[in-house]
Structure 1
């Protein structure tokens, strides 16, 4: 009996066309955000304004444009793991609509605040800012919650030809993205800021605090569980079925342990990579 292999995009279609075929709206949304991220990155070189933290005002818009864009494209790709006849069902369609609305709201407010030289996150300096920060939190929860209908459809009605362990990896990654990414993000948003203890120079690109704890590290790992576990399943695809299941279980447990360990490290005020 021929073993099923890790699903790859059909060679007759380039990656972009494959993404559009899987979920057009999310693909276009994700690509639009990545394109807008380019001027947001460029503005950092011409607009020298900084926030109270000393970070350029356009750093956060650029980060969120890339982050939400990658999130949307990942979801679009995973739609290919749902049976074709179910991709336009009410629940998946609702998830797509919520993701686009929630992502647009969050990005729009972050860019709006940056243009004024103001913080978007942890800014409750006026009733308006307090309400908007609360709404940002609500839409962030809605955005990350859209992985659950996708996980449900993939678990119940996976596309033909997928290995059971790969399906399990995709579903587990999506669920952990909601639990870890969403849960730790919610905890972080309820604090006075993302840093714990001493604050100093940030890690290049990511900006994570290198003098004290930084809650963003664990949140980052949680959000990217949806990519990490399927990649693990792809890497172990050549092993026997029983070994694949064992490695997937061990890898998933390790990923959760590392994420929570990094979280507690941050809560204790200890940096991930000290100076």
Structure 2
């Protein structure tokens, strides 16, 4: 059974609350696009509706994927379903607070400027910590889930692990920066606690819509890339399964599994590289020679490994050769 067949057969068994919430967030994404057009207000140099837009897109992908993954679990379905309901409620609450701050043209994250702003971010911090714990439990459940198609199984497992790593990378943004510590020492307070930009204050030039810094390191990049391994690797398994109809070589489940494992290793390497680059205060659009060399070695390693996997005989071919 390939991932495409599995999707078709299980569509009616997906976790409905998370599936409906993903649909709602998809609709909110469209609304955010309209707001970006009609409301030109900015915050720290970025449109105020850019963050709600990005979180809506990311959340829609996240909950759509979990609604599918939960349908794969052979046991503890009810407990996992309730945990996922908790994820939906937590994310919805965090999103409402984010939109509330956007309407006020106030930062939703790291904001300590007023008692209200500080309270909102503290509540969001508790929500994020709870979401992390629930996500960890769900990830462990996926690791022990048996899926008939091995490529799909490993795509789900590696995607969940790397997604967990991506979520965890958000902790790197929560500590005060050197400037914020200096402000605390001098005045006993700081309007912001934590930042996603490394080496520079948040704000400033950034990529369109995404807002990722073009002048300094940005921890949102590895956070985003890691989080969405949960979609990227299962989609790869899906693509390989679809291509098997056109390229018989991919009909070999062992080969597809090898390619998924290679892609997972490459994805983990990319996540580590992007984190390393951001922590060095280096912009994603201005990599130095060391970063480019590491990236080239990573790409070469993945490409060579993939070619070797494709060139190795499948079990069927090995059996055919032994009978001749």
> Shorter chain as normaliser: what TM range?
0.7 to 0.9
CA deviations 1:163-201 (Å, max 9, x no partner) are 1342122022112211x2122111123353211235642
- Matched with 2:264 is 252
8 Å contact 2:36–2:49 — kept in the other structure? yes
- Matched with 2:27 is 35
Structure 2 regions of 5+ residues with no counterpart? 177-193, 242-249, 288-324
CA deviation after TM superposition for structure 1 residue 239, in Å: 5.9
Distance 1:270 1:10, change over 3 A: closer
**Which of 136, 155, 168 matches 1:183?**
168
8 Å contact 1:34–1:69 — kept in the other structure? yes
**Which of 217, 220, 225 matches 2:224?**
220
Q: Secondary structure at the match of 1:8?
A: helix
- Matched with 1:273 is 285
Distance 1:29 1:6, change over 3 A: closer
**Which of 196, 199, 202 matches 1:197?**
199
- Matched with 1:167 is 153
Distance (whole Å) between structure 2 residues aligned to residue 19 and residue 147 of structure 1: 22
**Which of 225, 236, 247 matches 1:232?**
236
TM-score under structure 1 length normalisation? 0.83
Structure 1 regions of 5+ residues with no counterpart? none
Bigger Rg, structure 1 or 2: 2
Distance (whole Å) between structure 2 residues aligned to residue 174 and residue 145 of structure 1: 13
- Matched with 2:144 is 156
Divergent runs of 4+, >4 A: none
Is 1:206 the equivalent of 2:210?
yes
- Matched with 1:70 is 61
Distance (whole Å) between structure 2 residues aligned to residue 258 and residue 10 of structure 1: 28
CA deviation after TM superposition for structure 1 residue 10, in Å: 6.3
- Say what the alpha-carbon RMSD is for the aligned residues: 2.5
Distance (whole Å) between structure 1 residues aligned to residue 217 and residue 144 of structure 2: 40
CA deviations 1:90-147 (Å, max 9, x no partner) are 2x12221211111011101100001111110121112332232122123223334434
Distance (whole Å) between structure 1 residues aligned to residue 146 and residue 161 of structure 2: 16
* Number of residues of Structure 1 aligned to a counterpart in Structure 2: 260
Q: Secondary structure at the match of 1:146?
A: helix
Distance (whole Å) between structure 2 residues aligned to residue 235 and residue 69 of structure 1: 21
Distance (whole Å) between structure 2 residues aligned to residue 157 and residue 262 of structure 1: 30
Greater helix proportion = 2
